[in-house]
Amino acid sequence: MCGIFGYVGNKKAIPIVLEGLKTLEYRGYDSAGVAGISQGKTLFYKDKGKIGHLAKLLEKKRLEVEAAIAHTRWATHGKVNSLNAHPHFDAHETLAIVHNGIIENFQKLKSDLVAQGIAFVSETDSEVIAQLFAFHFQGNLKQTLLKILPLLEGSFAIAGVHRNFPKDIFVACKNSPLAIGVGESEYFVSSDVNGFLKYTNKVIFLENHEIGLIQPSGLKIYNEKGEIVAKQTESITSKIEEISKLHYPHFTLKEIYDQPESINRLFKNRFEEEFGAICLKDMGIDEETFMETSRILILACGTSWHAGSVGAYLFESLSRIPTQVEISSEFRYKNPIVMKDTLVIAISQSGETADTLAAVHELKAKGAKVIAVCNREGSELSRLSDHTLFIQAGPEIGVCSTKAFTNQVVLLSLLALHLGRMHHLSKEEGIHFIREIKKLPGLVSEVLSCADEIHVLAKKYNHFTHFFFIGRSYMYPTSLEAALKLKEMSYIHAQAYPAGELKHGPIALIDSNCPTVALFGNKHTFSKLLSNMMEIKAREGPILAFAPRGFDEVSSIVDDVFWLPDTCDEFASIPTSVALQLFSYYMALERGCDIDQPRNLAKSVTVE
Ligand code: M6R
């Protein structure tokens, strides 16, 4: 979603912020802009379209500023056009601000300012911050921020420059992340630490209600009372090399191919095979928490919710612990009941998803213990939760989640086995499951080695405009994820159902123009799924099956089969999902879609 980047230091600020914006491109955006102060004037350039377009505009202008702020906008309030793009200004252009988040009471604040004779130029909620700032400004940046921030309802990360302070950037945040990169006599401001990793891995995270004043010579952070806060500088371990496409045409394809390695990374030092045990000691969660858990509540959105839904089957089957999985945006408004001994697991690749953060805030306020399952070090979710289990997938740049999904499912499998062994699984069962799970990187590699076969299938099926995806048990959430991948990457309408539900209504849509992708990875329900296939065939629906090798009966019924390497039902989601990620990728490739940055989507959904 929207991205903020800022720079103060001795180097040329504009090229640095443009480069910084490029690293945030993957978050999804529709317009971009920069601003800085030069010779007592606020200078800015902004337009709809890509950063490359902005860079071309700036080439001609030779903009020299000492501090610069920049932004990529993902439209929420107002159309995609240059007026609505950030930065925003006050009526006299004394300052410029960029903003992530949503100011929920902007209409009221705006009409109060309009009543004072202040003219607005954009349709955005963000402009009100600039206008309000100028209205209350009496010469002091900090005092002005202390005055206006309590007036803003909603969420915000703000960076700004003021013509009276050409070397300063001011920053503030509430429920929207903002990180400050600390270099040698230079500072970077970014909504995402990846933005400045090229320059420094030293970072300060701004907490809710904190204000920062940044100059090349130093940085001061204040709390909401205006008192100085002593902040710790943290070191980030991600490396810049991890954020490269290498020889792949798309980040998404690279990330699909990363999966054997990313699963292996997660496996390192996790198995005590002779005891049938999983080792999670280093993750810092005391065994008592696990022992006392009698109920699990999983919260997440999108792909992470699908991973959580596979996790719910795993916790119930392997750990025998009742598990509820909820979409964060729905859960939050249910006035949730938090029972004693409930372990809350909040799953988020980015750790920035506003809906999940809001649900976690709600639960923390009710006294719940929250474990985050997250990919991003230093993310807001990780800082908010009692513990974080990192999925170690490495940076995921493609907007469509692939390797994060598999590592989320693998991590939940390890956790389910660990809890299972504590509660009821025998040592022999533990050994059996460890042997199976350890095969996963090899099985994923096998699937990847058959990518060409999947490409051939995509060439055959890419002209269809509606698809059903069906599966039973573990294959139902797997089909939800597969359908989401197809929608996101190829813009083809796809809907997932538990296979048994088809006959309760959706079957009305089956005909020769509506193919079904059937996921056979659950052997326990194999014969039931075969009967569902007969029902579809009776209505002339084309069927593409993804089935484990050896289940030859499938091929006599369906039109096409991709044969998957066999594993136990519990872990079949992994090879199946990888095959379906490739299917969506090739479908999108055949249709000429923007695979890494699909239209309308954002990598980190930072608004509710
Ligand atoms: O960062 P998160 O895991 O919290 O993100 C949740 C969803 O926004 C995300 O999974 C989204 O559905 C992706 N576009 C899936 O590919």
Q: How does pLDDT run across 363-416, given as a tens digit for each residue? A: 988 888 899 999 988 788 998 899 999 999 998 999 999 999 999 999 999 999
* Ligand 1 neighbour 499 (Cβ under 6 A): no
* Ligand 1 neighbour 486 (Cβ under 6 A): no
Give the start-end residues of each E strand in 137-258. 156-162, 165-174, 179-182, 187-190, 202-205, 211-215, 218-222, 234-235
Helices 451-461 & 573-590 angle (0-180, nearest 10): 50
Q: Which of 233-242, 543-552, 575-584 has the lowest mean pLDDT?
A: 233-242
Q: Which of 31-45, 46-60, 182-196 has the lowest mean pLDDT?
A: 46-60
pLDDT at 475 over 90: yes
* Ligand 1 neighbour 193 (Cβ under 6 A): no
Please write the tens of the pLDDT for every residue from 167-206: 999 999 998 889 999 999 899 999 888 889 889 989 999 9
- Mutation test of ligand 1: which of 330, 603, 605, 606 has the most ligand atoms closer than 8 Å to its C-beta? 605
Q: How far is the CA of 573 from the centre of ligand 1 (A)?
A: 18
pLDDT for the residue numbered 380: 86
| SS3 label, residue 189 | strand
Q: Which of 50-59, 178-187, 444-453, 531-540 has the lowest mean pLDDT?
A: 50-59
Establish how many alpha carbons lie within 13 A of residue 424's alpha carbon, considering only the half-sphere containing its beta carbon: 8
Q: How far is the CA of 112 from the centre of ligand 1 (A)?
A: 37
pLDDT for the residue numbered 311: 98
Taking the CA of residue 485 as reference, the ligand 1 atom at the shortest distance is 16
pLDDT at 149 over 60: yes
Alpha helices in 424-467 (DSSP H): 427-438, 440-449, 451-461
516 φ, ψ to 5°?
Answer: -115, 130
| SS3 label, residue 200 | coil
Cβ atoms within 10 Å, residue 431: 17
* Ligand 1 neighbour 327 (Cβ under 6 A): no
Distance of CA 576 to the CA centre of its chain: 22
Rounded distance, CA 547 to CA 566, Å?
Answer: 9
Q: Whose CA is nearest to atom 16 of ligand 1?
A: 400
Q: Whose CA is nearest to atom 7 of ligand 1?
A: 302
Taking the CA of residue 400 as reference, the ligand 1 atom at the shortest distance is 16
Q: How far is the CA of 579 from the centre of ligand 1 (A)?
A: 19
Q: Which of 254-258, 339-343, 416-420, 476-480 has the lowest mean pLDDT?
A: 339-343
* Ligand 1 neighbour 410 (Cβ under 6 A): no
Q: How far is the CA of 347 from the centre of ligand 1 (A)?
A: 10
Predicted model pTM: 0.80
Confidence of residue 289 (pLDDT cuts 50, 70, 90): confident
The residue whose two tokens read 């990330």 is 255
pLDDT for the residue numbered 362: 87
Q: How far is the CA of 246 from the centre of ligand 1 (A)?
A: 24
pLDDT for the residue numbered 241: 56
pLDDT for the residue numbered 239: 62
Establish how many alpha carbons lie within 13 A of residue 231's alpha carbon, considering only the half-sphere containing its beta carbon: 23
Q: Whose CA is nearest to atom 12 of ligand 1?
A: 302
In single-letter form, the type of residue at position 327 comes to: I
* Ligand 1 neighbour 532 (Cβ under 6 A): no
* Ligand 1 neighbour 360 (Cβ under 6 A): no
Rounded distance, CA 418 to CA 414, Å?
Answer: 6
- Residue 302 φ/ψ region, left for φ over 0, alpha for ψ in the -120 to 50 degree band, beta for the rest: left
pLDDT for the residue numbered 251: 94
> Among residues 557, 460, 469, 559, which one has the least CA distance to residue 519?
469
> Among residues 297, 313, 316, 308, which one has the least CA distance to residue 362?
297
Please write the tens of the pLDDT for every residue from 482-523: 999 999 999 999 999 999 999 999 999 999 999 999 999 998
Rounded distance, CA 356 to CA 327, Å?
Answer: 8
Q: Which of 62-76, 167-181, 555-569 has the lowest mean pLDDT?
A: 62-76
* Ligand 1 neighbour 606 (Cβ under 6 A): no
Q: How far is the CA of 603 from the centre of ligand 1 (A)?
A: 7
- Beta partners for residue 6, in sequence order: 69, 189
Catalytic residues: 2, 603
Mean pLDDT for all residues in the chain: 92
Cβ atoms within 10 Å, residue 527: 9
> Among residues 322, 388, 326, which one has the least CA distance to residue 351?
388
* Ligand 1 neighbour 399 (Cβ under 6 A): yes
Write the CA distances from 440 to 407, 566, 576, integer angstroms.
11, 10, 11
Rounded distance, CA 540 to CA 159, Å?
Answer: 58
Q: How far is the CA of 185 from the centre of ligand 1 (A)?
A: 36
* Tokens read off for 152: 């803003």
Cβ-Cβ contacts under 8 Å for 608 (sequence gap 6 or more): 102, 155, 329, 354, 355, 358
Taking the CA of residue 353 as reference, the ligand 1 atom at the shortest distance is 4
pLDDT at 284 over 80: no
Q: Whose CA is nearest to atom 4 of ligand 1?
A: 348
In single-letter form, the type of residue at position 433 comes to: F
pLDDT for the residue numbered 62: 73
* Tokens read off for 581: 């990620």
Contact 510, 536 (CB under 8 A): yes
* Ligand 1 neighbour 348 (Cβ under 6 A): yes
Rounded distance, CA 73 to CA 51, Å?
Answer: 11
Using alpha carbons only, how large is the chain's radius of gyration in Å? 26
* Tokens read off for 502: 């088809």
* Ligand 1 neighbour 301 (Cβ under 6 A): yes
- Mutation test of ligand 1: which of 401, 480, 487, 577 has the most ligand atoms closer than 8 Å to its C-beta? 401
Helix (H) or strand (E) holding 298: strand 295-300
Cβ-Cβ contacts under 8 Å for 188 (sequence gap 6 or more): 5, 6, 7, 16, 20, 180, 181, 195, 196, 199, 200
pLDDT for the residue numbered 420: 95
